[in-house]
Amino acid sequence: MKKIAFIGGTGAENSVLLKDVTEHIIETPYGEAKYEAGFFEGREIIHLSRHGAHHTIPPHKINYRANMFALKMLDVAAVISTTAVGSLNPDYKPGELVLLDQFIDMTKAREGTFYDGERYGVAHLDMSHPYCASLREAILAAGRKEGITLHPQGTYICTEGPRFETPAEIKAYRMWGADVVGMTNVPECQLAREAEICYASISMVTNFAAGITKEELSHQEVLDCMAENSRNMYRIVTDVFETYDVEKDCHCRHAAEAFGGFHV
């Protein structure tokens, strides 16, 4: 039976949603990945902590390929991820949630593809719609049901980190049309597409980005804003756990069909 997975970012490292949780390590061709398996309302859910259970892995050192390959090995067909972001859009305020629909990649030194000319050869996959349409609709429906402010579109610009961005960079990114900025959604999103896994991401706005306001940014500010964000995000995610038909076919499940499909 196909499974749904939850990837928690900053402020969502622990599997608080699940019961009967067990910890596991799985070996992949790209290194090992740690995950937890548990149950929500009798349904098995895979939980993967992007930064580790104690937030010890910085964004630029996350083994994104091992994580996504592990989920494929575990027969995960759909992934909901969360990211903590700074807002470049005055309409997207701290404490609110944004459902991403586009991204801009400004990372510099990450292994961002399975199609690197080695194990899977070379392929070029379409990313016109980077996030799964059916999973996004399920998340939007859950937000409406719960009465939670969830902005239905947002362009995420992914920086290398781990430093915060300069005001000059933020000014440039706003001119490009970015709404929120973070350090982790790429290459995670594109690897999910290559692995033919449905993927959607809820961004939790924790602060305005550098230069949008006069205050300087701190990691503590991000953490302080997470409590309310996390409560709302968890309400949406648990609703999707209950209602989403993970067995339903989707375009994402055939993204690499022209190249023979993606097989572990």
Q: Is residue 263 part of a domain?
A: no
Position 18 scores a pLDDT of 86
Q: Which two tokens stand for residue 259?
A: 């190249």
Examine the pLDDT at 145 and tell me if it is beyond 80.
Answer: yes
User: What is the residue-averaged pLDDT of the chain?
Assistant: 92
Q: Which two tokens stand for residue 220?
A: 């503590």
Position 12 scores a pLDDT of 54
Which CA distances in Å does 220 have to 69, 97, 217, 255? 32, 19, 9, 39
Question: Which residues span the domain enclosing 79?
Answer: 3-247
Distance CA 133, CA 212 (A): 31
Position 16 scores a pLDDT of 67
SS3 8: strand
Examine the pLDDT at 227 and tell me if it is beyond 90.
Answer: no
Position 211 scores a pLDDT of 77
Q: Is residue 57 part of a domain?
A: yes
Position 122 scores a pLDDT of 95
Average pLDDT in the 197-203 region? 97
Q: Is residue 87 part of a domain?
A: yes
Average pLDDT in the 83-92 region? 94
Residues contacting 220, CB < 8 A, separation 6+ = none
Question: How many structural domains are present in the chain?
Answer: 1
Q: Which two tokens stand for residue 103?
A: 């991204």
Distance CA 65, CA 71 (A): 10
For the chain, what percent of residues have pLDDT higher than 70? 92
Helix axes 133-146, 226-243, angle to 10 degrees: 120
Tell whether the torsion through CA atoms of 246, 1, 80 and 154 is positive or negative.
negative
Distance CA 103, CA 192 (A): 14
- Between 33 and 219, whose confidence is greater? 33
Distance CA 214, CA 217 (A): 9
Position 216 scores a pLDDT of 65
Q: Is residue 253 part of a domain?
A: no
| CATH, residue 212 | 3.40.50.1580
Q: Which two tokens stand for residue 151?
A: 């902005």
Band of the pLDDT at 230, cuts 50, 70, 90?
confident
Q: Which two tokens stand for residue 144?
A: 């409406």
pTM: 0.93
- Between 230 and 81, whose confidence is greater? 81
Average pLDDT in the 14-21 region? 77
Q: Is residue 259 part of a domain?
A: no
Examine the pLDDT at 30 and tell me if it is beyond 90.
Answer: yes
Examine the pLDDT at 14 and tell me if it is beyond 60.
Answer: no
The candidate with the shortest Cα–Cα distance to 231, out of 19, 72, 11, 78, is: 11
**Neighbour-count burial for 240-261, b at 16+ CB within 10 Å, e otherwise:** bbeebebeeebebbebbeeeee
